[in-house]
Structure 1
Amino acid sequence: MKRTVEILGIPFYNVSQNAFVDELMDAAVNKKRKFIVTANPEIVMHAQQDLEFNQVIRQADYIVADGIGVVKAAKSIGKPLKGRVTGYDTMLGLLEKANEMKLRVYFIGAKPNVIEKLVEHVNVKYSNIQIVGARDGYFAAFESEAIAEDILRSQADFVFLALGFPRQEKWISAYLEKFEKGVFMGVGGSFDVLSGCTKRAPSFWVKFNLEWLYRILSQPSRWKRALAIPRFMLAMKKQRRQG
C-alpha cells in the first residue's frame, strides 16, 4: 500500500526521487498505466478553489511534492516526506532510463520553437529513445481527441505534457481511460529548460531550495503566482491549529 502524507487534503506520496523514477520505470516496462501529478504550494492552493481540479488530481495514481514548501509543511505536522520529487528531475530520470531500454516517448506542449529544440536535444542526448510524437501546446479543444488517438496508435511508454496546470492534469484525466498503458505526467515549464530555451536555477539556488525565488527574479511577471506561497503557509498554520 502506498504511504501518503495529507497536506491541506491532498495525499502526497512519500517516496524519494530515485525510488520514484525506478517505480515508474517498472510500471512502464510492465505496460501499466499511471497518472502522476507533481504538486507545489501553488497547485495545492488552486485545488482548494477549483473543485474540478481537486477531483482531477485525486484520480492520479501519485501526487508528489514538487516544492520545498510542501516538504516543510509535512515536517511541520510531524509527518516528514523523504524529500522533493520534482517533475523536471523525474522526467530526466525517466528519459535516461528510457534511453537505455529504447522505449517510446511522446511530448506535448510548450511553444513551437521550444518543442522543435526539445526534439533536437533529445535526439542527440538520448539517441536510443523512440520519439513517437511531438507537438506544441497551441491546439484547440476540438483537436484533443485526435491527439489522444495519435498517442494511442503510437503505443507510447511515456507521455509528458508541458501545458501548465491545471490544463495538463485536466487533459490527462479527460483521456486517460482511452489507454491501457503509458506513464502520463504534466511537467509544466520543463520543456523550456530541457530544450535550453530557459535556464534552470544555478546549483546554489537549488541547494538552498530557492528555485522559486530565482524564477521570480528571472521572470518578474510570475510574482502574482508567488502569492500562493504565503497563502499556503497561512492555510498550513490553520491546519496545525486544528490538528
Structure 2
Amino acid sequence: MAPQSVPAAITIRKIRLTNLAMDDVLNALHAAIVKRVATRVAFVNADCVNIAARNPGYLADLQAMDWVFADGIGVKLAGQLLQQPVRANVNGTDLFPRLCEEMAREGRRLFLLGAAPGVAQAAGDWVLSTYPGLVLAGTHHGYGPADELPTLLECIRLAQADVLLVGMGAPRQERWIQAHAAATGATVVMGVGGLFDYYAGNIPRAPLWMRHSGLEWLFRLLQEPRRLARRYLIGNWVFMMRVIGDRLRGNIRGKS
C-alpha cells in the first residue's frame, strides 16, 4: 500500500488547519516577524472543535485566523479517520519555549496578555531568566473593565511587540484577537489558552512519556478531575462521534 500523503492544510469540522511540522511552524513565524507580516494564530484541540460546533461566532473567528494549528491526540485521530493525516501536534505549550529561544537570538520583543493578575508577570519572569536575550515588552492580566481597553491597547502598541500572546481561553481569546489585534501593532498575535499558568509554575506538565504517547489529557484529568471530567470523559466522545458522522456522510456522498 502506498504511504498516505500529508497535505499542507486539512479541514476538520469546517476549521481549516495549517498542517506543518513544529520546525516549519517556527520558520514560518520567524519569517512573519522579520518581514513584519501581521499574522493571527490559533490552536485547536477537541474541546475547541466542540465549542465551535455550538458557537458560530467562535467558528467564524477561527476561520478568519491566518494559521490554525492542530493541538492534541483528539485532532490527530480525527485526521486519520477523515483520511487527512495530521503532520504534528503543534500545541502552544511546546511551541512557546522554542519560539522564545528563536526570539532571544535576535532580541525580539514579547508581550504577555491574559490569565489572573500576576500570572503573566510570573511567566514573563521565567522567560527572562531562561532566555535573557529576549525583551519582555510588557505583561497584563486578562481582566478589567471595558472602559480600560483603549488604555491597554495603547500600552501594547507603545510596547512595540513582535509577538503578543493572548491567554484568555477559548472562545474569548479568539474574539479578542479578531477585534483588537490590528490596534496592538504586534506582528504575530497568538491565542495560547492557559499557557502562562504552566510557565508561572501553577500547573505541572505531564511527563514526557505521556506527552509523546498522546496521554497529556489523562494527566490533566488526574490533576483536576472535577473541572476537566466533563471536557475529557464526555467531550472527547462527543468530538469523535461528530467526526465519525462527518466521515460517514462523506462516504455516502462519494457513493451517490
TM-score > 0.5, shorter chain as reference = yes
2:35 equivalent to 1:55: no
Partners of 1:158 and 1:76 lie apart in 2 by: 35
Partners of 1:141 and 1:231 lie apart in 2 by: 35
2:16 equivalent to 1:11: yes
Partners of 2:212 and 2:187 lie apart in 1 by: 32
Q: What is the aligned partner in structure 1 of residue 231 from structure 2?
A: 225
Matches within 5 A, 1:176-195: 176-178=181-183, 181-195=186-200
Which stretches in structure 1 are left out of the alignment for 5+ residues? none
Q: What is the aligned partner in structure 1 of residue 26 from structure 2?
A: 21
Specify the SS of the correspondent of 1:242.
Answer: helix
Contact 1:28-1:181 within 8 A present in 2 as well: no
Which stretches in structure 2 are left out of the alignment for 5+ residues? 1-6, 251-256
Partners of 1:163 and 1:216 lie apart in 2 by: 20
TM-score when scaled to structure 2?
A: 0.90
Q: Which runs of 4+ in 1 moved over 3 A?
A: none
Q: What number of residue pairs does the alignment pair up? A: 242
Specify the SS of the correspondent of 1:53.
Answer: helix
**How far apart are 1:87 and its partner, in Å?**
1.1
**What amino acid maps onto 1:231 in structure 2?**
V
Residues 182-238 of structure 1 show CA distances to partners (whole Å, capped at 9, x for unaligned) of 111111111111122211111121121011111011011211222221111000110
Contact 1:100-1:128 within 8 A present in 2 as well: yes
Specify the SS of the correspondent of 1:112.
Answer: coil
Residues 79-120 of structure 1 show CA distances to partners (whole Å, capped at 9, x for unaligned) of 112111111122222111001110010001122232232122
Equivalent of 1:237 in 238, 244, 248: 244
Partners of 1:29 and 1:217 lie apart in 2 by: 41
Q: What is the aligned partner in structure 1 of residue 127 from structure 2?
A: 122
Partners of 1:91 and 1:163 lie apart in 2 by: 16
**What amino acid maps onto 2:246 in structure 1?**
Q
Identity of aligned residues (%): 30
Q: What is the aligned partner in structure 1 of residue 4 from structure 2?
A: none
Matches within 5 A, 1:59-138: 59-138=64-143
